[in-house]
Chains A and B, each alone.
Chain A
């Protein structure tokens, strides 16, 4: 095993593999920055180029590209409030809020450093999990996956404002998200739900136009109304020292970063949960780290921990999602499904052999994820402070550029004008939610988990009837969901007690 670990490293360090990886990194860098154009699509487009490559070169190229997409996606999210990727939307809540306070550099530093740590943890988990991966994945059947979705939904409690009214609004927003998740043909009877007689809505709402609309449009309106730069009228001198501060933040909240990385890895390992879920669970967990009501209110208004959590999780999940792909030949995400095609092209059959005969190739993938992220983060740090100064450019110069990015980005989802309409509609909803003080995070969580929860619940009941409720892991997860829901109440009581003590 140790031999294979080093053999894998040597494989990646061959000059050709390394060159292809760097090429992939450069491509992934841009794909990540641009909203809409996602990692999965780009992987599909790049697949034909690997015919003539050796396995290690091909994976260095594809994974190198894919590994950095989430990293640079964070940059767009922080700077402009436009999700660079569907998987980096959660970074906006606090990252962009920090940019508006003139702390763009610090937010970017934190996002990148936590991305790096996340990638390392994910890769480490991939390496460590290799001996136990089969039983681990096989423990999680449909009932367990359904309960994981419920635990995810329970995080709404943490994502909502405190107090009865805040909770109520949070859960209502989550319910609205769940309802929007039902749009499209249902998978049990093939009935069309809420499709308004259009063909466009048959496949359900695409996540990218919804996310871009609900997060980016309110920011653009806000920027236009304020008539200043994103960072307000702060003197530009303050921005330059930020990046290093962000790195320090990562180590100040080191254990939070590690815990969020582990959440991301775990969600990645579970096939069928999807990458969009990891960031929100991590964000929810980050808000739980608030020690009192004052701190809790800071989330969404630019708390650096709200950047660290999702930043770490959306990178660590990549290592995680390689696990089912490699071990079972069953992809953990869309991108991995395309990668699976790459395995075939190279004459490798994913499955148990990848953990024995081709172990060195598997480890070379781990190393690729590590190296690609180190290279990207290092390169980004050279650019960071310059990027941060974008937030001091006057709004009316930026808005046209951002608008173009927003609409082209959402149009790439289906190449259909419906994408643009969805963006506008959810932009309107998003703006009203911001005005009325309704939290957007629970809404998105409901949307991304709705279909997963519905399908796995159906399968669990159809397959096991009521017996699925008595499975041990399900019971543990039920308990976990209750803890997650009750945690904010405990938090509130504790901070109340603190106040009494001070008084």
Chain B
């Protein structure tokens, strides 16, 4: 009788044990991971998160469900504050926010209740390549020719804090480009229409959004910021044309967040093991052929930056001397 019981116990253990072991090796089995997006559905940050949500599960042991939740407001400060101090550091929350949050922290924007360096950095899914493009029917074929323009070239913009505004502003202030910036357009698409009707002569923005209009020969790119993409490597880079180190530092500071254009983080204090699992899954997902095929179809340029590299860039950005920060704050405001 006793031996029968032992046998049953052993058999039961033998049946149950492997499952227990499996559950222990994959804390994600049967769980739901939430990607918190700092914007409303429909934009670039949201689209990238939704693409990742479909492909992340197969790279995480235990195949959790991954869902996207939108927490818009205050250029994603609300979402960042939430992930920093409200979300549990249990490895089930990812946040993706405005790439310019380090700038907000650097320039001490009110409402910042986080330290970007203390997040558990997972990485970045894409870089943002900012270019300035002007109408093809203008006589200026290059940035050099544009600089010699005798009457101001009108640049349409959305508002301060957006690359449509900040990038040309620094070109005007430091490189002496004869630009007149007109801001207040409700979206970059609106500026494109203003270019079509010749209300403005050009605009700055991400290469991915201006690309189709370059292909249609409506506009021509003349200068870019640091981050690059195939097809526009040969364009002059704003920092390289800077007349002095101070100007270069300010331009570099503006474009630094663009290299980590789609940042992904977890709450501070997330256990190392979960962070490691998520970093690996993130790296694999972004180079996943299926995901890449879908991204290509949607005209999304993805570029993987590791969590360590992203954190290094953020730390560098935040370690600027005070006089540079003060000068920078004169021109650049946190936004979008």
**Most A C-beta atoms less than 10 A away, residue of B50, B74, B213:** B74
Whether a CB of chain A sits under 8 angstroms from the CB of B299 is yes
Q: Is A399 an interface residue (CB 8 A)?
A: no
- B residues within 8 A CB of A340? 189
Q: Please tell me if the beta carbons of B74 and A203 are within 8 angstroms of each other in the complex.
A: yes
In the assembly, what is the distance between CA of A197 and CA of B109, in Å? 12
Query: Which of B10-18, B122-130, B170-178, B193-201 touches A?
Result: B193-201
> Chain B residues with Cβ under 8 A from A272's Cβ?
186, 190
A199-B82 Cα distance, complex, nearest whole Å: 12
Which residues from A are CB-within-8-Å of B2? none
Residue of B nearest to A145 (CB): B190
Contact A328 B160 (CB under 8 A): no
Asked if B183 CB lies within 8 Å of chain A CBs, one says yes
Name B187's contact: one of A40, A337, A463 (CB within 8 Å). Answer: A337
Q: Is A345 an interface residue (CB 8 A)?
A: yes
Question: Are A40 and B42 in contact, CB atoms less than 8 angstroms apart?
Answer: yes
Please give the distance in Å from A250's CB to the nearest CB on chain B: 34
Q: Which residues of B contact A45 (CB under 8 A)?
A: 41
Q: Which residue of B lies closest to A184 (CB)?
A: B74
A456 to B191, CA, bound (A): 12
A415 with B184, Cβ < 8 A, contacts A328-B193, A331-B189 known:
no
CB-CB under 8 A from A197, the residues of chain B are 110
Interface residues of B in 91-134 (CB under 8 A from A): 110-111
Once A199-B111, A337-B42, A344-B297 are accepted as A-B contacts, the answer to whether A330 and B189 lie under 8 Å apart by CB is: yes
The reply to whether A188 and B184 form a contact with Cβ atoms under 8 Å apart is yes
Chain A nearest Cβ from B162, distance in angstroms: 9
Knowing A187-B159, A329-B212, say if A200 contacts B193 (CB, 8 Å): no
Q: How far is the CA of A363 from the CA of B78 in the complex (A)?
A: 43
B161 contacts partner chain A, Cβ-Cβ < 8 Å: yes
User: What chain B residues lie within 8 Å of A472 (beta carbons)?
Assistant: none
B-facing residues in A182-198 (Cβ within 8 Å): 185-190, 197
Cα of A331 to Cα of B188 in the assembled complex, Å: 10
Chain B: CB-nearest residue to A143:
B199
Q: Is the CB–CB distance between B42 and A202 below 8 Å? A: no
The answer for the CA separation of A304 and B200 in the assembled complex, in Å, is 45
Interface status of A254 (Cβ within 8 A of chain B): no
Which residues does chain B contribute within 8 Å of A456, judged by CB atoms? 184
Of the listed residues A41, A44, A139, A352, the one surrounded by the most CB atoms of chain B closer than 10 A to its CB is: A44
B72 at the interface (CB under 8 A from A): yes
Contact indicator B41/A44 (Cβ below 8 Å): yes
Asked if residues B298 and A337 are in contact (CB atoms below 8 Å), the reply is no
Task: Give Cα A327–Cα B41 distance, bound, in whole angstroms.
Answer: 24
Taking CB atoms, residues of chain B closer than 8 Å to A185 are 159, 335
Is B182 positioned at the interface, with any CB of A under 8 Å from its CB?
A: yes
Question: Are B190's CB and A187's CB within 8 A?
Answer: no
**Cβ-based interface call for A54 (8 A):** no
On chain A, the residues within 8 Å of B197 by CB distance are 137-141
The A contact surface, by secondary structure, is: helix
- A60–B85 Cα gap in the complex (Å)? 44
Provide the bound-state CA to CA distance between A199 and B101, in Å: 14
State the CA gap A190–B77 with chains docked (Å).
15
Q: Nearest CB to that of A451 among chain B residues?
A: B186
Candidates B75, B160, B193, B297; contact of A137 at CB < 8 Å? B193
Given A44-B42, A329-B212, A334-B42, A271 and B71 contact (CB-CB distance below 8 Å): no
Q: Which of B73, B160, B215 touches A200 (beta carbons < 8 Å)? A: B73
Please determine whether B42 and A338 come into contact, CB atoms closer than 8 angstroms.
Answer: yes
How does the 8 Å CB contact mask read for B253-288 relative to A, with 1 for contact and 0 for none?
000000000000000000000000000000000000
Question: How far is A199 from B78 in the complex, measured between Cα atoms in Å?
Answer: 7
A189 contacts B160, CB within 8 Å?
yes
Interface positions, chain B 120-168, Cβ under 8 Å from A, are: 154, 156, 158-161
Question: Which residues of A lie under 8 Å from residue B187 when comparing CB positions?
Answer: 331, 337
B154 and A44 within 8 A (CB): no
Q: Residue B192 contacts which of A199, A330, A416 (CB distance < 8 angstroms)?
A: A330
Contact B73 A202 (CB under 8 A): yes
CB-CB under 8 A from B186, the residues of chain A are 272, 452, 455
Whether the pair A271, B72 counts as a contact (CB closer than 8 A) is: no
Is B185 touching A459 in the complex (CB atoms < 8 A)? yes
Tell me if A118 is interfacial: C-beta within 8 Å of chain B: no
Asked if A251 is at the interface of the complex by the 8 Å CB criterion, the answer is no
B154 and A463 form a contact (CB under 8 A): yes
Query: Quick check: is B47 within 8 A (CB to CB) of the other chain?
Result: yes
7 contacts between A and B (CB under 8 A): A138-B196, A199-B78, A331-B189, A346-B297, A415-B71, A455-B186, A463-B200
Pairs A-B, 6 closest by C-beta atoms: A44-B41, A199-B74, A187-B159, A190-B160, A455-B184, A202-B74
New A-B contacts (13) at CB < 8 Å, excluding given A459-B182, A462-B182 = A43-B42, A51-B294, A141-B197, A199-B77, A203-B72, A203-B74, A271-B189, A324-B193, A329-B213, A330-B192, A330-B193, A340-B189, A459-B184
